[in-house]
Structure 1
Amino acid sequence: MAAEGFETVVGALDYPMFVVTTTDGRRRAGCLVGFAAQCSIDPPRFMVWLSKNNHTFQVAAGASTVVVHRLDTSVSGLAELFGSHTGFDTDKFTRCAWHPGPGGVPVLDDCAGWFAGEILSRHDTGDHVGLLLRPVEGTSATGLGPQLGFQSVRDLSPGNEA
């Protein structure tokens, strides 16, 4: 009964969606992320959770930096690309515009709002691992469009299903 109530409540939320990219120096990776939040103001900290089934999780295990991209409704195609395809068999970066950012981590050109975060620690929380980030660089973009939320992407077929 408690699980059913929980699923009803969280299933109705429209939390923001992000694309997280990273590199371990050999491989690039990126995925759609819905579990993410600012978790401290001073010092500034952000937590992003990656599925253990995800290619990005494997690459991030050898990474020191990730880039968190804020998605707005104008880039829903990026949500589909990074949410419905797996890096185990698809190089998503050949299908979108990007440039190397801090530490060589891919920055998606079509996302006006992004920040790079140094991974301070990793936290196993179940089927996801949380990365605690210290922001080190980012955009100062203004006029960002309406945020893309979970309800807009809930019907995507996950690319990371084994």
Structure 2
Amino acid sequence: MSEQESAKSAFDQLVGQLDYPMFVVTTRGADRLSGCLVGFASQAGINPSRFFVGLSRRNHTFGVAQDAEYLAVHVLAREHVGLARLFGSETGDEVDKFERCRWHEGPHRLPIVDEAAAWFVGRIIRRIDAGDHLGILLEPFDGEMTSAATGELVSFSDVKDLDPGHDA
């Protein structure tokens, strides 16, 4: 095994053990709504506040986000893992996910999932090529947190068995 293959194997083993939080990201572009389950996301700055989202280039939401100025990022309480499964295993190319869940219009008419334990809206300030994903850097500016956000949240271990709507 080459040194590069060995390093990739070690990396794959390490990240395979991590139990990342999962996020539902929604957006609106050109009068189309879209949303997907995202595992590549993280706070990326404190002052100023920044959040990084990685969207698969094969995902329906990727196409809609190309025209968008804002994204909404949601976390779900474990009791709502079914919503994570909806947004992770169905594709907006074939299914209107918003017909299958309760939501309301939030800031900038973005779809906000009603059962979310917490959510925030961020303005897209940069798009970054990240290979098979597009990195989107957000400047958060509005949001809401419920008491459910202090409990167990949906993480990778809750959805690792999903068949994604699109391959990554």
Distance 2:124 2:137 in 1: 6
The correspondence of residues 44-123 of structure 1 with structure 2, limited to 5 A, is 44-123=49-128
Which secondary structure state, in structure 1, belongs to the residue aligned with residue 21 of structure 2?
Answer: coil
Quick one: distance in 2 between partners of 1:56 and 1:92?
11
Most deviating of 137-146 and 35-44: 137-146
For 1:3, the aligned partner's letter is: K
* Residue deviations 1:96-138 (CA, integer Å, cap 9, x gap): 0000111111000000300000000100111001110011110
Aligned residues: 162
Q: Select 1:160's aligned residue among 145, 159, 166.
A: 166
Letter in 1 for 2:161: D
Code of the residue aligned with 1:160 in structure 2: it is H
Moved more, 9-18 or 137-146: 137-146
Paired with 2:115 and 2:69, the residues of 1 have a C-alpha distance of 24
Partners of 1:17 and 1:36 lie apart in 2 by 8
1:140 positional shift:
3.7
Structure 1 regions of 5+ residues with no counterpart? none
Query: 1:19 is matched with which residue?
Result: 24
TM-score for both structures, normalised by structure 1 = 0.96
Letter in 1 for 2:62: F
Letter aligned with residue 30 of structure 1: G
1:124 corresponds to 2:129: yes
Q: CA deviation at 1:143?
A: 4.5
Q: Could you state the TM-score of these two structures normalised by the residue count of structure 2?
A: 0.93
Bigger radius of gyration: 2
Q: Which residue of 1 aligns with 2:38?
A: 33
Report SS of the residue matched to 2:19.
coil
Matched letter for residue 162 of structure 2: L
- Distance in 1, matches of 2:18 and 2:167, equals 23
Q: For 2:157, which of 151, 156, 162 is the aligned residue? A: 151
User: Taking every aligned residue pair, what percent have the same amino acid on both sides?
Assistant: 51
Which ranges of 4 or more aligned residues in structure 1 deviate by more than 6 Å?
A: none
